[in-house]
Structure 1
Amino acid sequence: MTSVTTPHSTSIVASESAVSSIIVAMAVLAWAGLVGAGVLWGELPYMALSAVFAAWPLALAERALAVRSKRSLVDGMQHLTRESDAARGWRFIAYSGLFAGLLAMVLTATWAGVFTTVAVQSLMHDQSGWLSSAMLVPALTTFAVFLGLLRYVGRANLTHWLLPMLLLAGVSAYSLSHEQVWPLDSSLALPGGIGWSAALLIGALLGGAGLMVRWPWQQHVTPQPLLQGASVVFSMAMLISLMLPGLAAVLLAAVACLLMLLALARPWLAVLSARGLAMWPALFVVLVVVIGLAEILWYTAGLIRLQQLSLVLLLWMTVNALVLAIYAGWIMKMSHARKALNLPSEAAYNVWRIAIRWVAPITLLAGVGSLVGLI
């Protein structure tokens, strides 16, 4: 059967793409420790510039490779390297992206449990009884993984997320109208920001570069459309919450982490499907591995190690993004990249090519240098 693209379906896809980008960006901010403490205005220009000149071309590069290969991640990179007569070593990006995505899933699930615990304790103004139980964070982490990944089989429609988005918008609006910042009544110490010097690096990773979340997955899975109204609410709530410390940003981060889990899992699900596993066994494998690793991480390491692993993830994403930029900018054939990108003009393609070859790698290296104190 031939599929027909209608203006309505195109608008839904555009809306879903925009909100997915917001979800990825908010999850990266959660890993970076910029949630709950407020984003300093002095950091925003550096972050915005880095997002435009690095995150944008990197996202397009990842999408170009995905569109060109039309295969799951591992098989796709094998096809691309053969097509470009490139060395087999470039396939490293496929395996590295997969395992970085696994770490991202584990951290996202654990942070979802932490943020939800903080939000529940703060909203109920209580840390006694079951709210202070050592099992609360692990239980909410497990719940987050199930709720996030069940969308894969259509058991939790994305439109149902309109309610928590509206709740989040209401909390933000209340905070603004009453000039009140909601306190975080929790013994859990939220991560502190890593400073303006790392804003370049964080901005470059806002698109999720290096995690391969834009790589195509199983074609038989029908994407679930997002309500455009929910998209607008989520976008406005994010912009408001980033300006405020406290509960509003924590609620937003919890919702973003829940929604992010499926995006992170899809490359793994596609690879398992390509290896012959059916939908339910593949989903079971991902559920068991992610929940097991998340619980081990929380019980054996705690919040401090969680913060350290978050920094490891950001640096890992940076390495993957550098490899991605070099491959897309210098190894991939120009005609293949141009056709896969399908940009509106030759000028736009030339701007992207300059950005992916020079601007994005330099921005990433400058961000890492500032992070470790070399700049």
Structure 2
Amino acid sequence: MQDQALSRWLSPLMAFCLSFIIIASLAPVVGIHADRQIDFWLLWLSTMLILALPITYLEIALAKRSKMTALNALSSLTRDADASQKWRLVGWLAVGFIPFLAGSILSNASQLLRQFAFHNVNLNLVFIGLAIAAIAISFISRKIIVLCTVIGVLVAIVVAQLQGTALGAWHVTPVQLSEWGSATVLALVASGLGMGLYWQTSLATIKQQDVATKTVLPIWIAQLLAVIAFGFFAVNSLVSGFAFVIAVLGGAALLLNLVREQLLERQFNLVLQWLLIVVALCVWIVPAMHPVLNTLLMLWGLIICLIYAIFAGWIMKISHLRKSMNFSNELFYNLWRIAVRVILPLSIIVAIFIIIGQGF
């Protein structure tokens, strides 16, 4: 009974931890690390509603429809939709993106660890040590990894609050178009959407639930709580820094655990599995490449979400996902369909152009 309860809450717990960790890693990249702008936070929260929530429904609906992890499921989903096999590429894009994202958050943690503890140690050595530790931890039970990550995140948040944060006061600034790109990245990429993570970890529970909302809302609320928690968080001491690094190690290990499971289920060559993971991690060793890699990270994550939105909204048959989501009211389904077919693609395309304009 306890095991079933833990399985039910695995995805929401993972959503809170991963969202918090990725947000904290990407926040300096998009320029909101310590500048608490009320207008930007409201914009960010609105994107959580109109962009992140529909994508979360999309992932769970595809999981309910396929009952397999994303990489395997796309083969059957494209057959059901009489769609080209080229759409299956999005699964491989996501699988490549997951360890790349893990490398990003480990890179951020290595800089933090060096700042608070290993001042005289080469940054590359710190990163390599964290990467090896994350790979080793990824072999532990997924539930244990999630629980350890939760503890690390909560300790980091509590200690930071007890010691007082160095964040500036909340203030209002004029809303700029460029902020839409940052808000979209934080709502989608930093929430771990498009990678099939919640799809993958929710498979055990969706078989017992008749409507997608019972799975979706706990995940989305957990993501939202991570956004709110980050608004009051800053690493300001050795203790909070170490706790956050432990949380990052758990988050990165969880990402690697999930991607290995997908590749194993796909019966992907073992040597190529590790080559993919190691290369995706090791590209972050060169600090001079980080600006380009961070831009690539944001674009890559958004493109995955864009392809899924187009596939679910325009390629799949209407009846398939309506049945999977099983909304109590037809209006809710129509609103979701408008969001996925129109609002999501247009919003992501605008965000992509903004990021390209800022990054290159």
Please state which band the TM-score falls in when normalised by the shorter chain.
0.7 to 0.9
CA–CA distance in 2 between the matches of 1:20 and 1:103?
A: 18
Match of 1:16 in 2: 10
CA–CA distance in 2 between the matches of 1:37 and 1:331?
A: 39
Q: TM-score, normalised by structure 2?
A: 0.75
CA–CA distance in 2 between the matches of 1:80 and 1:235?
A: 29
User: How many positions carry a matched residue from both structures?
Assistant: 327
Match of 2:51 in 1: 54
Match of 2:212 in 1: none
CA–CA distance in 1 between the matches of 2:71 and 2:43?
A: 34
Q: Is the 8 A contact 1:112 1:254 kept in 2?
A: yes
Of the three residues 119, 139, 145, the one matched with 1:150 is: 139
Q: Secondary structure at the match of 2:140?
A: helix
Letter in 2 for 1:170: V
Q: Secondary structure at the match of 1:247?
A: coil
Q: TM-score, normalised by structure 1?
A: 0.72
Match of 1:37 in 2: 33
Q: How do 1:84-103 residues align onto structure 2 when only pairs under 5 Å count?
A: 84-103=81-100
5+ residue gaps, structure 2:
168-177, 205-220
Q: How do 1:269-288 residues align onto structure 2 when only pairs under 5 Å count?
A: 269-276=260-267
Q: Secondary structure at the match of 1:151?
A: coil
1:157 deviates by 5.0
Match of 2:162 in 1: 174
1:326 deviates by 0.9
Match of 2:171 in 1: none
Q: Is the 8 A contact 2:110 2:130 kept in 1?
A: yes
Q: Secondary structure at the match of 1:68?
A: helix
Deviations 1:179-235 (A, max 9, x none): x529xxxxxxxxxxxx73533322243432332223337989xxxxxxxxxxx9999
Query: Using a 3 Å threshold, how does the CA distance of structure 1 residues 266 and 64 change in structure 2: closer, same or farther?
Result: farther
Match of 1:268 in 2: 259
1:338 deviates by 1.5
Query: Using a 3 Å threshold, how does the CA distance of structure 1 residues 173 and 75 change in structure 2: closer, same or farther?
Result: closer
Letter in 2 for 1:349: Y
1:162 deviates by 5.6
Deviations 1:245-287 (A, max 9, x none): 443786675355333334433553233323448xxx96x9756
1:24 deviates by 3.1
Q: Is the 8 A contact 2:105 2:248 kept in 1?
A: yes
CA–CA distance in 1 between the matches of 2:230 and 2:8?
A: 23
Q: Is the 8 A contact 1:204 1:363 kept in 2?
A: no
Query: Using a 3 Å threshold, how does the CA distance of structure 1 residues 371 and 329 change in structure 2: closer, same or farther?
Result: same
Structure 1, 64-73 or 244-253: larger mean CA deviation: 244-253
Question: Does 1:200 find its partner at 2:183?
Answer: yes
Of the three residues 240, 247, 260, the one matched with 2:236 is: 247
CA–CA distance in 2 between the matches of 1:197 and 1:250?
A: 30
Deviations 1:89-148 (A, max 9, x none): 212212222222232233233333333333435xxxxx35xx56762332233223322x
CA–CA distance in 2 between the matches of 1:134 and 1:350?
A: 50
Q: Secondary structure at the match of 1:136?
A: helix
Q: How do 1:302-341 residues align onto structure 2 when only pairs under 5 Å count?
A: 302=287, 304-341=288-325
Q: Is the 8 A contact 2:17 2:226 kept in 1?
A: no
Letter in 1 for 2:68: R
